[in-house]
A and B are shown apart, each in its own frame.
Chain A
């Protein structure tokens, strides 16, 4: 069952074409990687999926809903988005408050407390509970940013460069986390090793065009293709 269906999608920032005629579908539970050079449209594609941008033409359906203004609230409850720059994601005075933010108004105070503490334990960040996000290291911020999204129990998780700035240990933890999670993940990344480890399929973008969708095993062994498209 397709949870994301994209058909002939195009987008431009003013006169600058960023995506042209992109079509693909993603099944439930799949881990999909999006790779490409800087400016190829990876982040833009994620933002179109979550409704932060409006496509010029074509259609995007997520969880059976067209990505339109009327559906955005419902969409945001079921789809999580982890920003590339985690400083933009964290905005509350403490880690606890930031993680609880998405649940307030949707659950009782006790449920919120239970959910937040459960996520803090799951991510091994209980010791950061009362800290201010701006005091955290890069890796800690990244873990908290993901926690703020996962606490809302999304069905789909979109991640923009999730391993950026992470050391090998944190990167291994990230890999283990994504692999063990049953949710559908769409991950934009330059980290080909990370993509290779976790993704079922990989979308390759070049100057806004989708030039290939393939499994990581096939794609990352096709050195001629990777070289021709400057991906290595």
Chain B
């Protein structure tokens, strides 16, 4: 019950403030050195109230980021070979850097995914506008987000239709890799145009849909200060 009330309280904090705290958290996480990896546990706990708790969704997003992290991290293993001891364990600097990269990278991806799920795209846009991010940029981000959703739907429809007529073959054949993405682009743009029409016909005003959806209050500032103090205290306490 206590945790739920903490979660609910943080979720009501102004979206711009939550965005600022998220950026601070992200910067701290990605810059964590191998000798300070234990900070990540506590920083993760601190960030939990800002996030939606959906482990399956986190897992999917993290899996998508894994190949990139592994690709970059593997180079460390060959480049940094001097020994380094952290947490009473002696390994090469490359291995420690690799471990740190995986932990930081996965935590960052999980944090961003969970944060966006909790705050919603409209909340994120509202926060960005509060931070004076140019409206054009925010609008592009919102429309791109909607378009990606449509495109994913279209991919599913087209691959289903393709597979039903591909004579039992698995996946999209190499021969079709030219025309298939081309058609996907055309059809998804057509769908996007129709969806945009539907939205405009119901009075959609892009800016109005996200600006000012949350109002800043004194409690938002106090909550943010408490969070920052706890966040900053971790390196000193541990």
Interface positions of A (Cβ within 8 A of B): 50, 52, 73, 76-77, 80-81, 83, 85, 88-91, 101-102, 104-106, 134, 148-149, 152
Tell me the complex Cα distance, A187–B57, Å.
Answer: 43
The chain A residue sitting closest to B199, CB to CB, is: A91
Structural contact, B203 and A88, CB atoms closer than 8 A: no
Nearest A residue to B200, CB-CB: A76
* B223 CB → nearest A CB, Å: 23
Residues of A within 8 A of B200 (CB): 76
A88 to B201, CA, bound (A): 12
Interface size of B by Cβ–Cβ distance < 8 Å? 16
Complex Cα distance, B200 from A149, in Å, reads 12
Residue of B nearest to A105 (CB): B208
In the complex, A80→B200 CA distance in Å? Answer: 11
Note all chain A residues with C-beta closer than 8 A to B183: none
Majority SS at the chain A contact face: mixed
Q: B18-26, B88-96, B189-197: which lies at the A interface?
A: B189-197
B202 at the interface (CB under 8 A from A): yes
Q: Which residues of A contact B198 (CB under 8 A)?
A: 83, 88-91
Q: A88-B191, A91-B195 are in contact. Are A152 and B208 (CB under 8 A)?
A: no
B contact residues around A89 at 8 Å (CB): 198
Asked whether any CB of chain A lies closer than 8 Å to the CB of B153, the reply is: yes
Closest 3 pairs (CB-CB, A-B)? A102-B202, A88-B194, A89-B198
Find out whether the CB atom of A105 lies under 8 angstroms from the CB atom of B205: yes
Given contacts A76-B200, A77-B203, A81-B201, contact A104 B209 (CB under 8 A): yes
Least CB distance from B111 to A in Å reads: 22
B153 touches A76 (CB 8 A): no
